[in-house]
Amino acid sequence: MSSKPATHDIKFTKLFINGEFVDSISGNTFETINPATEEVLATVAEGRKEDIDLAVKAAREAFDNGPWPRLSGEARRKIMLKFADLMEENADELANLEVIDGGKLFGSMRYFEIPLSWETIRYFSGAADKIRGATLKMSSNIQAYTLREPIGVVGHIIPWNGPTFMFSAKVAPALAAGCTMVIKPAEQTPLVSLFLAHLSKLAGVPDGVINVVNGFGPTAGAAVSTHMDIDAVTFMGSTEVGRTVMQAAATSNLKPVSLELGGKSPFIVFDDADVDKAVELAVVGNLANKGEMCIAGSRVFVQEGIHDVFVKKLEATVKGWAIGDPFDLATRHGPQNNKEQYRKVLSCIQNGKKEGATLVTGGGPFGKKGFYIEPTIFTNVTDDMSIAKEEIFGPVISVLKFKTVKEVIKRANATKYGLASGVMTKNIDIANTVSRSIRAGAVWINCYLTLDKDAPHGGYKMSGFGRELGWEGLEHYLQVKTVATPIYDSPW
Ligand code: ADP
């Protein structure tokens, strides 16, 4: 069964500034490629510093003088709900853009990631009229309270591995808080954000509140992180670029940053685990979205008693993983997002072979066209190998053997990252000990990739800081102001 549309009708390729689609000031453009066919999909306006300046000016005017921060919470909620409804009505089109621009699977976009995206907008719409401070009694003759105010103009720098969901996770809380924003999508996936900007306008988000400027990292991205008139930045992407963004924020106007960076998450399978479930989750946790997930469980630690049977079942499952046309609902594995990433993953696989890990299956490119890589399993992986240390961001499962709880906790934590983790066991005491001991922003017990709009997501250590989603996801977009006043004749 295929859901392939007859034509790829790409409606929006310009920049979206102050409610209008406009060319870049320089007139420059760049091409975006379909990773399944390697064909050029569209020519897109390329924004640079001068376009970011224009977008920030629009966002500043919309924040300082426009209606959005001054609307009642109910009014903002209503517009956000309309925005979510329009996403739902246009789910096929959004899924289509995700597939052709990013090689994502139509089925998982249409029935999972895009519904999660519109539900994220709905979730935060419910916060718009519930943002409140606290009452403080500073002393018997001073009364004070806190106000939660929108932080102002926000810059969002977005990666390419989940354009609709990342847009929603960042834009929804910012909208609820009353902020205005400039979005710099990844240059590999410029199309989705433009379509979403169009829907936001149809929903009634006022001009200047959401601006989208496509372009490259060192030009458009850097213009966001260094801008003197952007009040906060959120960044999702590699740890190296996150460091650059934080430096730029520090050396410009000291804007606060939130960073969601790389990961090398442990997925720990104990001897007493349900082995079939553990195999299924190890596969999904590494091969979903062709492994292009910062939260991939890319170090699969398996206890020695179950190790051999686990590997056997893992091999059988991965060998049956259907590779092919991402529009086909039977396909489980599409192309990597872009050529650079494709080459990087293949080189990581080469390193795994060179360093002496055992290649069980996969290990090379797949097919003649498109950036496809075979789902790959390595066993006999040791902690010092590069495939156990560096984020691969591709369809590679590394299996490491362990003996004891204490040992695996130590090894699981021996990484610069701390984004997620998984524990498979029926023993509640082991699950409790491991979940308290792992230094990571999420522990999934007998499940994996359990993301939800209500669950704060973010990193420990060099996986970043700040949280997205959940009530905590609002924090980055709000300021706290204390207001105090004397009480001259207090009865208390
Ligand atoms: P990946 O390694 O996954 O491609 P990157 O961290 O390179 O991710 O990119 C994530 C986002 O950061 C993209 O939108 C990219 O354009 C942007 N970016 C890249 N370099 C910079 C930079 N120097 N300053 C700001 N943003 C950047």
Write the DSSP string, 118-172.
HHHHHHHHTTTT-----EEEEETTEEEEEEEEE--EEEEE--SS-HHHHHHHHHH
Cβ–ligand 1 contact at 187 (below 6 Å):
yes
Cβ–ligand 1 contact at 186 (below 6 Å):
yes
What letters, b where the CB count within 10 A reaches 16 and e where it falls short, cover 214-240?
bbebebbbbbbbbbebbbbbbbbbbbe
Provide the 8-state DSSP code for 327. T
- For residues 289 and 223, give the distance between their C-alpha atoms in angstroms, rounded to a whole number: 30
Calculated CA dihedral for residues 302, 306, 308, 310, nearest 10 degrees: -70
Average pLDDT of 281-306? 98
Identify the active-site residue in 46, 98, 260, 292. Answer: 260
Residue 184 identity (one-letter amino acid): K
ipTM rounded to 2 decimals: 0.98
Element (H, E) at 267: strand 266-269
Q: What's this model's pTM, rounded to 2 decimal places?
A: 0.96
pLDDT in tens, 379-395: 999 999 999 999 999 99
pLDDT in tens, 18-71: 999 999 999 999 999 999 999 999 999 999 999 999 999 999 999 999 999 999
pLDDT in tens, 413-423: 999 999 999 99
Active site residue 179: no
Cβ–ligand 1 contact at 376 (below 6 Å):
no
- For residues 405 and 276, give the distance between their C-alpha atoms in angstroms, rounded to a whole number: 21
Residue 348: its pLDDT value, please?
98
CA 157 to ligand 1: nearest atom: 14
